[in-house]
Structure 1
C-alpha cells in the first residue's frame, strides 16, 4: 500500500496521510495485517474509531439523548444532569470526567476513584480500561498504567490498534468479510456499523 492508496482508501487529507502513513504501514507489518483484505478492514475500523484519523482520545461530549449509548450504566436523572443540553456547545471537562467515571468505573481493573476518566479511550482503536492499558503496555513495552497519555503519540496510537487487532484475532473476521462480527469484537456492539461498512467497501475497492 503506497501513500496515494492510503489516502484513497481512507478518504483522509494528504496532511493527515503524512502524519499517519508510515505509522500505519509499520503497524500492519508488525502485527500481521498482511493482505489487502485485512488491511482494508483494519483501516475502516480504526477510521471509524478515530473519527477519520482525526482523534486519538475519546470525547465524552454527549448530549442527554446521546448518553443512551451507555444503557443502564447511567440513570435517566444522571443523563439529564450530565448530558449536553440544547444550546450548549460542549460539556465542561468536569462533566465529561464524571460521565467517564460512572460508565467505566468498577470494572476491567478500574477500581480506584478516577480510573474511568484516567483510562478512557485513547489511540486509534480507543483502548479503554486499566486492564487493557496494562496488557497493551506489556506488549508494546510501554508503562501505560502510569502514563496512559503515551497512547496519544502517533506511533503508539497506531501500534496499540495493531496490538488489539492481533490479540483479539481480528484477521479471522477480516478474512471472512464479516464486518458485523469484527465490529462487535472491536466495539462491543454495533456502534457506527454503517460507517464501518462504508469505509470497508471504500478501502477494499482501492486495495483489491
Structure 2
C-alpha cells in the first residue's frame, strides 16, 4: 500500500516543508494510532488535506474580508458574538489592521478552555496544524498526552517532529477509525468538524487519495477495478478492489443505482460508468 508520505508527495505538490517532514513519520505514529488500513489512511488524509488546503495552511488566518465575514454570519456560526450582520461585517476593518487578533479573541473567547477576550487566548490558541487544533484546552490536553509543551509553545503543534501528534490524538479520541472502517465520510467529517462544513471538498480529496491508495488497476480487469474504487469513493462498500464482480460488488452496484435512480441492474453498464465519472 502507498504510504501517507507518498500521498503527500503525489497529491499535495505545494505542501509545506514541515508537513512533508512530519509525514515521513520516523516514530511510526500513524501505525501506532491504527491509521494503517487503506480506508483509514484515505479518510485521515482526506480530512487533513481539506483542513490544511492541500497541506499549505499551517495556522488559521484572521485576514477576513467583509464578504467572508458576511458568509460566516449567514451560516450562523458567529451570530452570538455580534449584535447584527452589519457589526460582523464591520470587523473586516479591524482584521486589516491586526490580522484577526480582535476577531479570534472574541469568537474563541470563554470557550474551548480559553479565557475571556481580553486574555487574547482565542488568538493565541487559534487553529494550527494538520487538523487545526483549536483552543487552550486542546493544546493543554494533547501536550500532556504527548509530553510536548503545546500550551506554552503553541507553534510546536505545526513543527515537523510533533505535527502528527495532536492530529492523531483527536482522530483517536473521536473514534474516527471506526467511522473510516465503515467508509462513512459524513460521519468522519462530523467527528472532525462538528458538522458537515466542507463535506464536498473532503469527498473530492478522498476520491483523489483513494486512487493513490489502491494503485493502478490491473489491465485485465480495468473496468471492474475502477468501478469498485469509484463505488467506495462514493460511499458504497464493494469490498477491496480486486477486479472481480462478486456478490458484494453487485450489492454495492444495486445500492448505488437505487440512490441515483438508475435501472436496478447488478452489472456494470455504460450508464453506471458515466454516473461514476468513468469512461
TM-score normalised over the length of structure 1: 0.86
Match of 1:129 in 2: 135
Count of matched residue positions in the alignment of Structure 1 and Structure 2 = 202
Find the aligned partners of 2:63 and 2:162 in 1 and give their Cα distance: 24
Find the aligned partners of 1:84 and 1:48 in 2 and give their Cα distance: 28
CA 26–175 in structure 1, closer or farther in 2 if over 3 Å, else same: same
Find the aligned partners of 2:41 and 2:133 in 1 and give their Cα distance: 20
Measured after TM superposition, the shift of residue 20 of structure 1 is 4.2
Match of 2:235 in 1: none
Match of 2:13 in 1: 12
Measured after TM superposition, the shift of residue 180 of structure 1 is 1.2
Match of 1:108 in 2: 112
Which of residues 170, 179, 189 in structure 2 aligns to 1:173?
179
Find the aligned partners of 2:123 and 2:16 in 1 and give their Cα distance: 30
Contact kept in structure 1, 2:139 and 2:150, CA below 8 Å: yes
Which of residues 77, 96, 110 in structure 2 aligns to 1:91?
96
Contact kept in structure 1, 2:22 and 2:162, CA below 8 Å: no
Match of 1:197 in 2: 203
Contact kept in structure 1, 2:15 and 2:56, CA below 8 Å: no
Higher relative contact order (CA 8 A, sep 6+): 1
Match of 1:152 in 2: 158
Measured after TM superposition, the shift of residue 37 of structure 1 is 0.6
Contact kept in structure 1, 2:114 and 2:122, CA below 8 Å: yes
Find the aligned partners of 2:86 and 2:157 in 1 and give their Cα distance: 33
Gaps of 5+ in 2: 215-279
Within 5 Å, give how 1:27-38 maps onto structure 2: 27-38=29-40
Structure 1 segments (4+ residues) deviating >6 Å: none
Deviations 1:57-99 (A, max 9, x none): 11122222322433314422432221269xxxx833x250111
Find the aligned partners of 2:92 and 2:201 in 1 and give their Cα distance: 24
